[in-house]
């Protein structure tokens, strides 16, 4: 399978715990995006990487959230001190270098439930 | 600010009948427009896009969409619906001025095709 993969697919945690999600983009895709989707809503942009550089962060990304893409390949999204409001589907997407005219390819998502 | 509106939470149609899922957008500058479909427990799948050129674009699974600049709309259509088309559909926009190429999504429209 050469699509975008995300792990874990589901995560249940208690309020106050830290969680980390991983995204493996399609190889040779230098652009990587994280989105968050809550029930009944469309995905909302969180952050964007071009290669290893994090070039844009949404105001939705509070200081409890941090994302990395250390070698320009896979990316991690960490949420510290989780809150019940963090419960959502976290989607990762990637796109090739000529991204201006190309669509983004999405992974299956990680569903986070904070108890 | 960029935004996308999908005015219908749900669209119901009988199998074999034509379907339309509505989308309007608000952006500064020229838009790039996309339609994605989401099946349960799966990521977003790309259907079609408008970048430039012909206002009628054709995509996967027999879907098409018409870009109307004066009405700022990009409605999704299919001449003959299938039960298997039942899913959640998202319209998304980005602008050429945004170097991150992040997508702004609508809230989604659930399509229910009855046999």
Q: Which of A55, A101, A106 is the closest to B100 by Cβ?
A: A55
Confidence at residue B2, expressed as pLDDT on a 0 to 100 scale? 86
Give yes or no for a cis peptide into A58 (omega within 30° of 0).
no
Mean pLDDT of chain A: 93
CA angle B44, A72, A64 (to 5 degrees): 70
Average pLDDT over residues B27-43: 89
Share of chain B above pLDDT 70, in %: 100
* First-last CA distance in chain A: 33
User: pLDDT-based confidence at B42, cuts 50/70/90?
Assistant: confident
Are A108 and B41 in contact (CB < 8 Å)? yes
Question: Which backbone phi and psi does A101 adopt, to 5 degrees?
Answer: -115, 5
Of the candidates A4, A43, A95, the beta carbon closest to that of B105 is on: A43
Residue (of A55, A102, A97, A36) closest to B32 by Cα position: A102
Interface residue A60 vs chain B (CB under 8 A)? no
pLDDT at B89: 98
- Check CB contact under 8 Å for B101 and A43: no
Show residues of chain B in contact with A106, CB under 8 Å: 36, 43-45
At B97, give phi and psi (nearest 5°). -85, -15
Out of A55, A56, A104, the one facing B103 most closely (by C-beta) is A104
Whether residue B40 has pLDDT greater than 90: no
User: Within 10 A of A43 (CB to CB), how many other CB atoms are there?
Assistant: 27
Q: Is the pLDDT of residue A2 over 80?
A: no
pLDDT band at B95 (very low <50, low <70, confident <90, very high): confident
């Amino acid at each position: 399978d050469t699509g975008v993969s995300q792990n874990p697919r589901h995560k249940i945690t208690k309020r106050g715990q830290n969680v980390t999600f991983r995204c493996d983009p399609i190889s040779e895709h230098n652009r990587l995006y994280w989105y968050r989707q809550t029930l009944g809503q469309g995905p909302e942009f969180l952050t964007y990487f071009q290669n290893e550089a994090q070039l844009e962060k949404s105001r939705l990304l509070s200081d409890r959230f941090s994302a990395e893409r250390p070698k320009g390949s896979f990316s991690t999204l960490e949420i510290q001190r989780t809150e019940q409001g963090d419960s959502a589907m976290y989607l990762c997407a990637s796109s090739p270098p000529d991204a201006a005219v190309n669509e983004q390819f999405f992974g299956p998502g990680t569903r986070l439930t904070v108890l | 600010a960029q935004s996308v509106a999908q005015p219908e939470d749900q669209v119901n149609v009988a199998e074999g009948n034509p379907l339309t899922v509505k989308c309007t957008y608000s952006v500064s500058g020229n838009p790039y427009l996309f339609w994605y479909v989401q099946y349960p427990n799966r990521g977003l799948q790309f259907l079609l896009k408008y970048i430039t050129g012909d206002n009628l674009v054709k995509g996967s699974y027999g879907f098409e969409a018409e870009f109307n600049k004066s009405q700022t709309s990009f409605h999704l259509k299919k001449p003959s619906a299938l039960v298997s088309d039942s899913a959640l559909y998202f319209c998304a926009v980005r602008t050429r001025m945004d170097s991150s190429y992040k997508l702004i999504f609508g809230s989604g429209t659930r399509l229910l095709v009855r046999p």
